[in-house]
Amino acid sequence: MAESPARSITLGVDQFEVIFQVTHQTVNLQESRPMEIGFTAAELQKLIDALRNVDAHVADASRVCIQLGGDEAEAPAGLRVLAGEADGAGASRSEVTAGIPSRIVKQWHALVQPIVSALGSRELFLRAGFGPDEVEAAVVGLDFDW
């Protein structure tokens, strides 16, 4: 069977930070919610661990690229930090690339979408540091239909 070509999502660092913080809040949802959309507890933990690993490397990055990988349940999420070209100020910018199984990435939007309504705008801001409009603008990049 032929494999489909690799696909990726490229996010700005600020956009990634919003998505990371909101995804991290999914642990505060009722445990049944992630399972209702097809996430297992192990998959949710794999996603959060991968994002936490990326977050540790984004300080000097200019963007984050999420590569959709195979759907092997036990496959670890890969991480690469690529040095880039110097920007206009002469500082080198990098790209942080993480490999996450496509099955998890394809359900990511459905996972984070209810966070805004579940927490409410004030609680969302207190927990994640972002308002509903910022979250909606950031997670739109996760809403795709492949």
pLDDT, residue 122, reads 92
pLDDT, residue 75, reads 46
Residue 1 lies in a domain: no
Residue 120 lies in a domain: yes
Question: What is the tens place of the pLDDT at every residue in 3-52?
Answer: 444 588 899 999 999 999 999 888 777 666 777 777 888 888 888 888 99
**Runs of H (alpha helix) within 94-140:** 102-128, 132-139
Residue 2 lies in a domain: no
Question: What is the tens place of the pLDDT at every residue in 47-86?
Answer: 888 899 899 988 888 999 988 876 554 444 566 666 555 4
Residue 119 main-chain phi, psi, to 5 deg: -90, -30
pLDDT, residue 144, reads 61
Number of domains in the chain: 1
Nearest to 67 by CA among 104, 38, 109: 104
Residue 128 lies in a domain: yes
pTM, entire model: 0.79
Question: What is the tens place of the pLDDT at every residue in 129-139?
Answer: 999 999 989 98
Structural domain span for residue 71: 7-85+92-142
